[in-house]
Structure formats: C-alpha cells, structure tokens
Structure 1
Amino acid sequence: MGDRRRCLSPLTSSTFHCPKPDVNPLSIDSELWLMAEHRIFEILCCIQPASASEKKRDEVISYVSRLIKAHYRSEVFAFGSVPLKTYLPDGDIDLTILSHQNTEEGMAEGVSDILQGHEHDPKFDVKNVQYIEAQVKIVKCLVNDISVDISFNQMAGLSALCFLERVDQILGNDHILKRSIILIKAWCFYESRILGAYHGLISTYALEILVVHIFNLFHSSLSGPLSVLYKFLDYYSSFDWDNHGVCINGVFKISSLPDIVVVVPAENGSRLLLGPDFYNYCKETFAIPVKELDSGRHDFVVKHINIVDPLKDSNNLGRSVSRGNLHRIKCALSFGAQKLRGVLNGPGEYIGMGLEKFFANTLGRNGTGQRADANSPVPAFGTGRSDACDLNGDYDRCHSGLLQGQWYHNYRLPDHFHNIPSTLLSPSEILSKKSQIFSWTGQNGHPQKGTKAFLQRGLPGLCPCPSKRCTTGIDGLGNLRGTGTYIPDMVSLVSPTVYR
C-alpha cells in the first residue's frame, strides 16, 4: 500500500490508514525534544519508586521475612521489580525462600499457615492468603494492601535481577535503562493492557529484555526514556514475529533453530553496546548452574512470540503470549506508535499536552495525589514532585542470594570458585572469595571500573482492542493489585504455562 500502513482500529474495529511521516520524531528540534523529555520526566515522577512507597514496601518485606525466619532456618530474598527499582505503584512484591531440595511443597503449606495465623495482626493487615499448588509452588497474599508473591528456590529470578542491575550500571546516564523500563511498563500496563503473562500477555522479564535489545542495537540514537519509548513502539509495531525472534544481540530467523543465527545487527553497522564477552561472563556468573545429573539439552520451544533469555539460550521468554493476544499486542503497538508519532510531529506548543493524553490512564490512576503503595498523600501531577527514591539497586545482596542458593543445593559453581571445593565452603566463605565486581563496556572485551557507556543529550485510553480474538484479564483495573509474578521456567520448557 505504498507508504501507508493498514491496521484494525482497536476502538471501532474498522480500518484506518496511518501515513508514515517524512520526519523522524527523533530528529526534531533539540529544544522541542528537551521539552518533551522534561514532560516525560514529570510523568515519571508520578509512577517511579518514591521514598514513601519504598518505605512501605521495605516494611512489608521485613515483616514477612521475620515471620518466615521465626519458623524456618532459611534465607528470604526479594527479586523482580522491587529490588530492581522498576516497579509501578500497583506492582507486587516477589519473594523467594531458599530451602532444601524437595521440601518446597511442605514449606509452602507451612508458610501459608503462618500467614493465615497472622491475618489479625494489629500492625500489618494480612489477608487473602492463597496457596497455589502448581508446578511452581506460590503463596500469595495481601499485606497492608500490597500484593506479595512468595516462591521457593527460584534462583532464576535472582539471576535475572543480577543481570539487569549489571546492564543498568553499564548504561549509566542516571539509570536510563530503569527509567525507560518504568515508562514502557506503564504504557503497556495502564494504557495498552498488554502486560501480564498470567493472562497470556507479555511477561515483565520478557518486556525488560525487549528494552535491553533496543539499547544494544540503537544506543547511538537514544537520549532519554521518551526516545526509548518511541523506538520501542516504532520497532516492535512492525516486527515480523511469524518468521523472526529477538535476542539481545539482534534478530534471528526462526527457521535457523536450534541454532540462533543473528541476521539484523546493530544500527548502521555500529558496535553492539554489550559484546559477546559480557554475555559469556553473565552466563557463567548469573545463570542457574546445571546439576551434574541434569546436563541434558533443552531445545528452544517456538511460540507465537520468541525472545531468547540472555542467560539461557533454550528459554523462550515469549512463550506466555497466546495466539489471540499476539493480535492484541500487534494492534496496541501499531496504534501506540502512530499516536506517539503524531504527538511528536505536531506543533511544539501541543507536545506536552499530547504526551499527557498519551498517558491519560497512567495519570488518571497515579497523578491525583494518591499512590496505591504509599500511606500518605503525594504531590499530584503538575503540583510538585514526590520525594524520589534512589534507583540504585543492592546488587551485592541479590548476588549474595544467588551464590547462597548455589551453595545450598550443591550446584556446580563457576570456575572462579573452584579454588576450594564448594562442599567445604559456607555461603559467607563463598562470598568472601567472589571475584571483583566489574562494569563492562562491551567494546574491548575487558572489564573496567566505573565506566559509563554513553551520556547522550536529554534531561533526567489506548488500544482497549475489544476484538473477539483478543483476550484480557486486566479489565477492572481498579480492583486489581499487583502486576503479577514472573518466574522463569529454567528446566521444563514444554509447558506454555507461566506464572506472572
């Protein structure tokens, strides 16, 4: 159809035509772009972690951890968006308990009983305790109106957390990765409603890897969260999911599997921001070690969306997306890209207002002066800024949890821990011998301390898609708490079930 795109309108189910503009929004006047990024900064202030929300979440984590440790000699670690500092106000808390192997079921029942026994605690309101007896045992509950998901021996979540923390350190630029993830998560959850693997949609970890893919390929043209959002929508709205998949280093042909052959390199032939040496280091250091008796090969299972886990090539992070919801996701991305393109290419005096309308649901829920995860009011949008939380994550603690889990289950440790047999080391001794933490540039293959990979210019109701082919479990958002738990399935990839 020439230079015009055809898509089903999510609002009318009729067709509309989206002319592809002659001007790339990323190349608009620098002053207008800075103004637009500043408005996005103000929107982020309403949804990114704030001191009040951080305090409440820390109190809930400490309370639940104390209850568990009072009955079990086990360590409790947070993983996911809370320790990564990328949670939304409606985000839940993901905790995992390290225990002996083959004791998960009994411990899950015990933790459920413990929480039910504290449902009338005068200081912490514990309610809606549920024990989900599935392949991955999970105990769910609400504590002071924050959703808490407790899993057992899920070190995959800790390894993913370590990986994303390391990438954020590399990118620098005032945590541009984390701020971009928060912004894109908000659009996917509040505006387009395409986030949530439990409902057959995109999992949070898959979304984060899609964002890292954008940085790795297009880092030279990214200046702030708005430019990342635009590139994300523009790139994935026309992505050929039927024939190609995504890995962080580029795009691969599905027909090439089980080999992953990258066919689309970085933008304009530039260097990848994160090189092969970085990934080899991460796979050795952060990935779940394989037991000696479980060294068999697990092939990548092709689904409707295919995203390679950077820590395990056989793990498809897109396996949660159903066929009907693939249509929904494509429709939302196309409509979002077209609408954001129109805002950025419009008159300069209307860009700020256009961005507010683009995030209308986000601001309607979180910009009124109340946060779902804070006990006290916060400044409403346009009236001031909340006391922002430091986005620095506790990398040492999450790496500590991963190492303790490896030791606890007698897993095969990376080569640099082999100076002393692991069976003779305690967790603290393993930690004392861990290698020096590096920041990787991905350019020369050598670790460097304190390197910022790049510092670019810039400042610190969409697609409800009522098509019968689209399914959703996020309608009635006012009654929903938590964006769900994502636990990567690092062993059995045959079943498409994902708990998110």
Structure 2
Amino acid sequence: MEGSSDRECDTTLNKANAIVQGIMKKIKPTIDGKRRRDTVLRYVRHKVQSIDKSLLVSAYGSWPLRTFLPKSDVDIVVIGNIGLQDIKHVFEEDSEFRNVITHGSGTDAEILRFFVGRMQVDLCVNHDDGLASNLFMEMVNRIFMRNNLFKESILLVKAWSSIEAKILAPGLLTSYSIQVMVMHVLLNLPGKNVTPFEVFKRFLETYSRFDWDKLAMGRRGVIKLYEVNDLQTAYTGHPEFDLLTPCLEYCASETNSGKPPVCKKDGFVKADMNIIDPINRFKNLAYKVTRPRLKKGDYKVNKPDNMRSNEKTRASNDMPGG
C-alpha cells in the first residue's frame, strides 16, 4: 500500500510539474517582449541624452533580470547631473509620450511615469539601488543555477501573486520583495532536482504560516522582530550566504544603500510585514503593506483552495483508521 501511495504521489507531482511547464511557456519573456522593451529603452535614452550626452540611461528591475511578466512595465534609471523635472519638461513637449506624471514622495524615490505606445515606463534619477539589487539577484541566480531555477521560480510566484492573489500591486508587495522571499525559500529547500513548482509550493507553505507579528525576514533568514535593528542578528544566518558577502559589500559601497534615510533616525522602520533588504539593512521592503490592504486583514500569503483541500485529504489518509 505504501509503494502504491508513493507512486500516486509521484504521478500527481509529475502532472503538476507538466501543468507548470505549460504555464511557464506562456509567461516566460519572449523575443518579441525583449525587442519591444529594447526599443523603448533606446527611445527614452535618445530623449534624455538630447539634454546631455554624458547622462547614463539604464534599465533595471525585472526586465534586465529576465523575470518580467508579459504586462510588466519598464523601469529606467538616469545617472548624472540632472533633476527629474528637467527630464519631465522634455517629455511633456513630445506628443509621443502620454500622461507624464510625477509619482512618489517622502520615503519613496520620485519617479516619472508615462507611456511609450502601450508600454508603461517608470523613470527615476540617481536612484542606483535598483542597479545594485539587480547585480545581487544575478549573483543569487548563479549560486542556485539549476537551469535558472531561481528566475523561473520568481516568474511563477509573480504570476500567481499578480493574477490570483493580487498581492503584487502598488501598496502591497513589489517585484523585488518577492524575489527576496523566493531567495529565502530556495536557501532552505534541500535537494538538487528541485522544480519551480516545488519552490512555489514551499513558498506558499512558508509564508501562509509565517508569524509576522513576532518574526521578520532578515538578510539571511528568519529573525525575531525585536532583532531587526541588531546588526549582528540581521546579518547572520544561512552559510550559503557567505558566497554572496563580497557582492553584498560591493553593492552597498557603490550605491546609497548602506546609509539610513535621513527621515528614519531610528533605523529600520517596522510595519505589518517586515522584510529586510539584503543590500540595505535599514530598508523594509514591505513597509507599505498593511493588514487591511492585504487579504482583508489576513496579511498572510494564502494557499489556493484546491491545495488546502488536497492537504486535508492527505492528512485524513495518514490518520490511523483512515
């Protein structure tokens, strides 16, 4: 009976992996999607450098990381001696750009949001944290390798987060915070032959029971909430992170990440969810998330109903006399 149960489990897992592979084919970045984004970047770069050719214009976020969904926007940063309003003025004069607005203030970096055709663009100035986080995530991907398991897992979780769970949205979780959450799942997932579906399943299991009232996701793993401002505790944990130490130090030194924001004198700002940015211990990646805005007061990541029902069935079968 036990062998039969194992075979059924393997069959179910194989079916689930096959379904996920079908989903991945639909949501993976395509050549056309990359080409359209390349065109947008070249166009924006041309407009910005018409002001000053020495300005660096670069993409960051899910696009260069190749973890963007079909409808994802394009994140662009301009590095150089220029202000956001100077760039906004140039764009507003061009009828090709629609609805040029300034978005974000206070603890957020101000961004310029507009459309090139049907592609949304978010542009910021001298905010190089995004470039540093991209470098860091590429290093994480190299550690896990396994045929881009890390990036494919991010894509799967993002697809679920934006389409079904609705937690990947303004005022909730960002793409980068989800990347960090997936990274922590992979660091604690044993075995070499792991699939994106298994990472997704563990993601749901981990965060559906995570006690955000008492715990936080530290730089290297789970820590007590009262320890978030403890440098030693926040920066210790999984041994595989030692491979990333040089990269983390480089990212912090090359950006503004290692410094606390001027308006945050008490260091890390606690919220209903607390996820420490691996390259900036003062930054809470989930500081915008509030309980009412995330699942009507239940701010845990919830499992799909069919997964919960399957687990109940499995539990009843494991009970004596079941």
Q: What is the TM-score when the length of structure 2 is the normalising length?
A: 0.83
Q: Distance in 2 between matches of 1:47 and 1:346?
A: 31
**1:214-268 residue CA offsets vs partner (Å, 9 max, x unmatched):** 01112438711111111001110011000000125221111234226769x99xx
User: Aligned-residue CA RMSD in angstroms?
Assistant: 3.0
Which amino acid in 1 is paired with 2:89?
D
Structure with more of its chain in helix, by fraction: 2
Q: Which residue of 1 aligns with 2:68?
A: 87
Q: Which residue of 2 aligns with 1:431?
A: none
Bigger RCO of structures 1 and 2 (CA < 8 A, at least 6 apart): 1
Q: Which residue of 2 aligns with 1:340?
A: 307
Structure 1 range deviating more: 133-142 or 300-309: 133-142
The verdict on how the C-alpha distance between 1:307 and 1:332 changes in structure 2, with shifts beyond 3 A counting, is closer
Q: Which residue of 2 aligns with 1:211?
A: 182
The verdict on how the C-alpha distance between 1:222 and 1:243 changes in structure 2, with shifts beyond 3 A counting, is farther
* Other structure's SS at 1:334 match: coil
**1:312-366 residue CA offsets vs partner (Å, 9 max, x unmatched):** 2221111110131245484673342x5325468989xxxxxxxxxxxxxxxxxxx
Q: Distance in 2 between matches of 1:279 and 1:247?
A: 15
Percent identity, aligned pairs only, is 26
The verdict on how the C-alpha distance between 1:222 and 1:119 changes in structure 2, with shifts beyond 3 A counting, is farther
Q: Distance in 2 between matches of 1:134 and 1:75?
A: 23
The verdict on how the C-alpha distance between 1:182 and 1:201 changes in structure 2, with shifts beyond 3 A counting, is same
| Alignment equivalent of 1:38, drawn from 1, 7, 18 | 18
Aligned-pair distance for 1:132? 3.4
Q: Which residue of 2 aligns with 1:165?
A: 138
The verdict on how the C-alpha distance between 1:118 and 1:241 changes in structure 2, with shifts beyond 3 A counting, is same
Q: Is the 8 A contact 2:17 2:195 kept in 1?
A: yes
Q: Which residue of 2 aligns with 1:220?
A: 191
Q: Which residue of 1 aligns with 2:268?
A: 300
Q: Is the 8 A contact 1:47 1:89 kept in 2?
A: yes
| Alignment equivalent of 2:150, drawn from 161, 173, 177 | 177
Which amino acid in 2 is paired with 1:39?
I
Matched, 1:138 2:122: no
1:177-256 correspondence runs (5 A): 177-196=150-169, 198=170, 200-220=171-191, 223-256=194-227
Q: Which residue of 1 aligns with 2:57?
A: 76
Aligned-pair distance for 1:286? 1.3
The verdict on how the C-alpha distance between 1:261 and 1:305 changes in structure 2, with shifts beyond 3 A counting, is farther
Q: Is the 8 A contact 1:127 1:143 kept in 2?
A: yes
Matched, 1:150 2:131: no
Which amino acid in 2 is paired with 1:274?
E
Which amino acid in 1 is paired with 2:93?
G
* Other structure's SS at 2:199 match: helix
1:456-471 correspondence runs (5 A): none
Provide the aligned length of Structure 1 versus Structure 2.
301
Q: Distance in 1 between matches of 2:172 and 2:131?
A: 22
Q: Which residue of 2 aligns with 1:113?
A: 89
Q: Is the 8 A contact 1:80 1:157 kept in 2?
A: yes
The verdict on how the C-alpha distance between 1:65 and 1:317 changes in structure 2, with shifts beyond 3 A counting, is same
Q: Flag structure 2 segments of 5+ consecutive residues without an equivalent.
A: 315-322
Aligned-pair distance for 1:282? 2.1
Q: Which residue of 1 aligns with 2:78?
A: 97
Q: Is the 8 A contact 1:245 1:253 kept in 2?
A: yes
Q: What is the TM-score when the length of structure 1 is the normalising length?
A: 0.55
| Alignment equivalent of 2:291, drawn from 317, 323, 326 | 323
**1:83-107 residue CA offsets vs partner (Å, 9 max, x unmatched):** 111111111000000012xx42xxx
Structure label with greater radius of gyration: 1
Q: Is the 8 A contact 1:216 1:274 kept in 2?
A: yes
